[in-house]
Homo-oligomer: A and B are copies of this chain.
Amino acid sequence: MDYTEDSITSYFAQAKRLNSDKFPIGIGDDMAQMQLENNNALISTDMLLDGSHFDTNIHSPENIGYKAAAVSLSDAAAMATVPFAMVASVGIPDWWGEEKLKELHSGLLRACSKFNCSLIGGDITSWQAEGKLAVCSTIISRPGETKPLERGGAKPGDLICVTGELGGSLEGKHINFTPKVNEALWIAENLSPTSMMDITDGLSTDLPRILNASEAGAVLESELIPISQAAENKKEPLSAALNDGEDFELLFTIPEKNSDFIKNADFKISTIGKIVSSKGLKIKNAQGQETEIKPEGYDHLG
C-alpha cells in the first residue's frame, strides 16, 4: 500500500478523514488499522476499467472516483449493511499527473462522505506504457440492526421487488447514482426481506443469481417493471429495463404478507413478480402469456 506517500502523501493525508478515532493507523503506512464496533465485518472489492465502466474521454477523474466508490457502497447496500471504511487502488496512464489524481480522490471522498464511510488508504501505480485507467475500490461494512442479507433466502410465494426504475443507466445515471444504502437498511428493518442484491449486470442476469442461490424460479409481470425515462427513449424499453446493466437499484424478495408495509417507504418500490418453486425465469405479458427470459445482461467472460 503506498497511497499518499511522497509527493502526493500530504494532499491525501490532509484530506479530512471521517471518524479518525476509529482508525489508529491511517493513510501513510503499510496498512491502515481499523477499530470496528465488534468482531463482525463484511468486505467487497470492485474493479472499474476505462472503456468498460467509465470513459476517460467523457468522464472527469472526479466522476470516475465517485463512481468507483459508489459501486462499492452499492455492494454494502446490497447486503443491507452499514459502510465503514474504504481503500482504493488505481492504475494510472503514464501521462496522468497529480492534478488528475487529486480530482479522482475528491470523487472517492464525495461518495464516501455521503455515507459516513472513511477513505483510509490505497495504492497508486502507473502503467509503463499504453495502460488505461483502472480503479479498484474495496469496502468494509458492518451489519446494521438486522443480519446481512444474502441472495439465497427467497421462498416460493415471496414477492419480487425493486427500488427505483430500470434500464438506460448508461445514458447518464451510472456515473452519478446514489447508492441505495439508506433504502436497503429501511427495507431490512421494515419488510423482513428474504434475499437481496443490487442490480449491476441487468435484471435478466441478476435475478437468476437470486434464483440459483435460493433454488427457486420466478415469474415477472411485464406491466409491473418500472421502466426509466432513459429506457423509454430506447427502441425496446422493456428489453432495456430487463437487460441494461448498471442500474444499481436493489432487487429483493419479501414474504407476501409484508407487502402492506411497502407503502410506508419514502422511496419508490415496485413489486414486479413472484418467486415460484419451478426453476427458470419467466415473464407474463398483459394478456397473461408467459415467455422464458434468458440472461442478456453483461457477461464479463463473454
Contacts and interface: CB of A to CB of B under 8 A. Distances in A.
Contacts of A236: none
Interface residues of A, number: 79
Contact of A51 (B44, B131, B141, B148): B131
A51 B138 contact: no
Interface string A35-47: 1111111111111
Given A40-B33, A79-B29, A150-B25, A1 B45 contact: yes
Copies in the assembly, this chain? 2
Contact of A87 (B5, B79, B138): B138
Nearest to A208: B6
A171 B54 CA distance: 36
Nearest to A22: B39
Contacts of A5: 209
Given A75-B31, A136-B89, A127 B52 contact: yes
A93 to B, nearest CB: 11
A79 B48 CA distance: 29
A30 interface: yes
A265 interface: no
A296 interface: no
A31 B299 contact: no
Contacts of A198: 30
A127 B132 contact: yes
Contact of A42 (B7, B33, B148): B33
Contact of A43 (B32, B46, B49, B127): B32
A209 B30 CA distance: 11
Contacts of A49: 91, 125-128, 131, 134
Given A29-B150, A49-B131, A134-B134, 7 more contacts: A25-B42, A28-B151, A30-B44, A37-B39, A47-B124, A130-B132, A136-B136
5 contacts: A30-B79, A36-B39, A43-B87, A89-B138, A134-B134
Interface of A: 1-2, 5-8, 25, 28-53, 75-76, 78-79, 81, 85, 87-91, 97-98, 101, 120-132, 134, 136, 138-141, 148, 150-152, 197-198, 200-201, 209, 213, 299-301
